[in-house]
Amino acid sequence: MIGEETPAAPASRSLVAHVDVNSFFVSAERAFDPSLWGKPVVVLSNNDGCCIARSDEAKALGIPMGMPWFQARQYGRRYGLIARSSNYELYGDMSARVMELLGRFSAWKQVYSIDEAFLGLRCPAEQASMVGRDIRQTVWRGLGMPVGVGIAPSKTLAKLANRLARRSQAWRGVCNWMALTARQQEALLTSLPVNHIWGVASRMKRHLEQVGITTALDLREADPEKMRQHFSVVLMRTILELRGIPAIPLDPPQPPRQQLIFSRSFSTPVTAAAQMRQVMTVYAQQASARLAKHGLQAQHLSAFAQPSAYAGGVTDAWANADPAKNSFGGGGDGGSGEGGGWKTYGPQAPGSVGVRVRLPMPTADPVLLARAAHTLLPRMVEGTRYVRAGIVLTDLTPLGGQQVLELFVNPHERRGIGPLIEQVAHKYGHGLLGLGEAGLREGVVWHMRRDHLSPHYTTNWKELPVVKAG
DNA sequence: GAGAGGTAG
DNA sequence: GATTCTACCTCTC
């Protein structure tokens, strides 16, 4: 099937591989429960509300994305449909593992979503298919999850190729756009409705119909400049991308975030330590949530409080102040004795107080972070009216980057309290559930319904799967 | 700089 | 009885 004609474009340009895990959530569940293979499986949203991921078998039963579980469950009885509550600890961890493996194939990696990444490839177009197969095999052998790979000169075409790879068995999971003849490419683009192109959805489809564009090929042949004027630069880029001209660059590999700041001004000044304690607890939870969202852990926590700024105008100098003009003294009293003080932050309004704490281990756990933040309280000056406070997390490292021995994993982390609070907040709004005095403000404790939860195979030693040999 | 419109996953 | 939800981009005002 592969080209008796010459390839459609020169072989020397750089290529993009788009890799994604098939039915990622389901595949993550299957990786640890092989009994799920070949069966219709769905993963449910928070609170077991509706289906957010479906295996091919479940799709074949006609279960649409987002179908409420109360409707889907009848398939359970009739067709053996299996449901799993979403287990984001597991998915996040599996995702990190996939991305780590993909990183071996290119330093030029853009993690696009929990289950997708773009990789820049610098190899001759003829070799790219082999690389694609290697990627697929590596992830399968390493993690037991199937991935599809699309390879092309642009992101849009790479996504398109990935789609082809998945749709048609003939590709066996890997489609190299450059291995197709120009004629084959045109045939494929003709059969592809324009709204199946990345970045073109139903609205744009309707607009394009009015100017006679219905297929991917129609769009590719449209005049880029005219389309930019009529529609948008986004659409113009898509046209260029369809022509194999990269117009949506790969994000350059980003240096990991150095710090995460959570700070707010108060509506009314805080003077009492008890109140500040509550503020710090809430801020620690917020900061923890943000850390978790970015898959990070912190090694150091700093906490500060500022009194009302009669030293007018200094209040917002916080983030971009000159580190050399540091007005804070030594390290925090709850810290490790590492000293250091406020090296990263600059001049403050007179009366500001701060601490820096080295955490016993890199963590995103709200309980540990709150405990560390509370070391600010003894620093407060009696009678001072504080109008602003915050938490700064530094020395951030990727979550799960290194193995942590069971001895050092604190019990809150094991129970996944951080993610739980986040999920509840997500569902019912922030402030309903919290730690200690940050919680119970409404007098109601909600707990998420997760009746079909799989074990935390990779993030909880107690739930490690057991392999029996022999 | 906020808000609308659009899109992706 | 119930029905994901957020991030991000561009364009406009």
Q: CB of A45 under 7 A from strand C? A: yes
pLDDT, residue A447, reads 42
CB atoms within 10 A of CB A213: 21
Near strand B (CB < 7 A), which residues?
A 112-116, 159, 197-205
Q: Do A17 and A112 touch, CB atoms closer than 8 A?
A: no
User: Phi/psi at A440 (nearest 5 deg)?
Assistant: 60, 20
First to last CA, chain A: 44
Scanning residues 52 through 71 of protein chain A, those with a beta carbon under 7 Å from any atom of strand C turn out to be 52, 65-66, 68, 70
Place of tokens 């009739």: A78
* Shortest-distance nucleotide from A20 CA to C1': B9
Distance A426 CA to C5 C1' (A): 9
CA-CA-CA-CA torsion sign (A347, A351, A352, A356): positive
Distance A231 CA to C12 C1' (A): 14
Spatial distance between the Cα atoms of A366 and A434, rounded to a whole number of angstroms: 10
Spatial distance between the Cα atoms of A189 and A238, rounded to a whole number of angstroms: 13
Contacting residues for A343 by C-beta, under 8 A, at least 6 apart: A323, A326
Per-residue pLDDT of chain A (470 residues; tens, 9 = 90+): 443 344 444 444 699 999 999 999 999 999 999 999 999 999 998 778 889 999 999 999 888 888 888 888 888 888 899 999 988 878 888 998 999 999 999 988 998 888 999 999 999 999 999 999 999 999 999 999 999 999 999 999 999 999 999 888 889 999 999 999 999 999 999 999 999 999 999 999 999 999 999 999 999 999 999 999 999 999 999 999 999 999 998 876 666 667 788 888 787 889 999 999 999 998 898 888 777 767 678 888 999 998 876 533 333 333 333 332 332 223 333 333 222 233 233 345 678 899 999 988 888 888 999 999 999 999 999 989 998 899 998 888 766 543 332 223 333 433 344 444 444 444 333 443 344 444 333 222 334 556 777 777 776 666 666 666 65
DSSP percent split of chain A into helix, strand, coil, nearest 5: 40, 20, 40
* Shortest-distance nucleotide from A112 CA to C1': B9
Identify the DSSP state of A151. E
Q: CB of A234 under 7 A from strand C? A: yes
Nucleotide C3: closest residue by CA–C1'? A68
* Shortest-distance nucleotide from A73 CA to C1': C2
Q: CB of A343 under 7 A from strand C? A: no
Q: Which nucleotides of C are covered by protein (CB under 7 A)?
A: 1-7, 9-11
Distance A114 CA to B7 C1' (A): 17
pLDDT, residue A181, reads 97
Spatial distance between the Cα atoms of A21 and A36, rounded to a whole number of angstroms: 16
Nearest Cα neighbor of A285 from A433, A388, A409, A428 is A433
Residue type, A373: A
User: Phi/psi at A149 (nearest 5 deg)?
Assistant: -130, 130
Q: Do A396 and A298 touch, CB atoms closer than 8 A?
A: yes
Q: CB of A46 under 7 A from strand C? A: yes
Spatial distance between the Cα atoms of A20 and A115, rounded to a whole number of angstroms: 5
Query: What is the value of pTM for the model shown?
Result: 0.66
Q: CB of A133 under 7 A from strand C? A: no
* Shortest-distance nucleotide from A24 CA to C1': B9
DSSP A299-316: EEEEEEEEE--SSTT-GG
Q: CB of A74 under 7 A from strand C? A: no
CA-CA-CA-CA torsion sign (A265, A270, A271, A272): negative
Spatial distance between the Cα atoms of A152 and A156, rounded to a whole number of angstroms: 8
Spatial distance between the Cα atoms of A35 and A22, rounded to a whole number of angstroms: 17
Nearest Cα neighbor of A176 from A45, A305, A19, A21 is A19
Q: Do A17 and A103 touch, CB atoms closer than 8 A?
A: no
Q: Do A55 and A157 touch, CB atoms closer than 8 A?
A: no
Nucleotide C5: closest residue by CA–C1'? A426
